[in-house]
Amino acid sequence: MKPSEVIAAARDKIGSPDKWTQGAYARTSDGTKLDWEEVTKGVCWCLVGATTLCDPWAGGRAADNYIRSAASSFNRRPGEAPSTHDFLLDLEEWNDAPERTHHEVLTVLSRAHSLALKDGQ
């Protein structure tokens, strides 16, 4: 899968608040935390769990670079240029930040999707 396809599929997976989680890659229907190797057993996923579920191989990891770029924009002041630190952003920590909202996660996935498409990916 191309990164844009992985990002679109992940956005669809966590498209509603009840399909998104924090503090675990995925959760079962009773709330049990699942590690990344078990994401297929989940009913809701974090940002990274959703990309892993949609493409556990190269496409998911390539998609992460676009997602990091989009997510890092939340940490910049308006008009501030991207930096090399953007690619060091830990997506698990970003997803799990107590102040993070489902809406922000979907916004980042939409931005990342646009970036990937712009690159032909």
Can you give the pTM of this predicted structure?
0.86
Residue ranges covered by each domain of the chain? 3-118
Average pLDDT score, the chain: 87
pLDDT range class, residue 36, cuts 50, 70, 90: confident
What are the tens digits of pLDDT across the range 54-83?
887 654 578 988 998 898 876 655 555 555
Distance (Å, rounded) from C-alpha 30 to C-alpha 3?
A: 31
Would you give the distance in Å from CA 87 to the centre of its chain?
14
Give yes or no for residue 35 having a pLDDT over 70. Answer: yes
Give yes or no for residue 10 having a pLDDT over 70. Answer: yes
Structural contact between residues 49 and 37, judged by C-beta atoms closer than 8 angstroms: no
* Proportion of the chain above pLDDT 90, given as a percent: 64
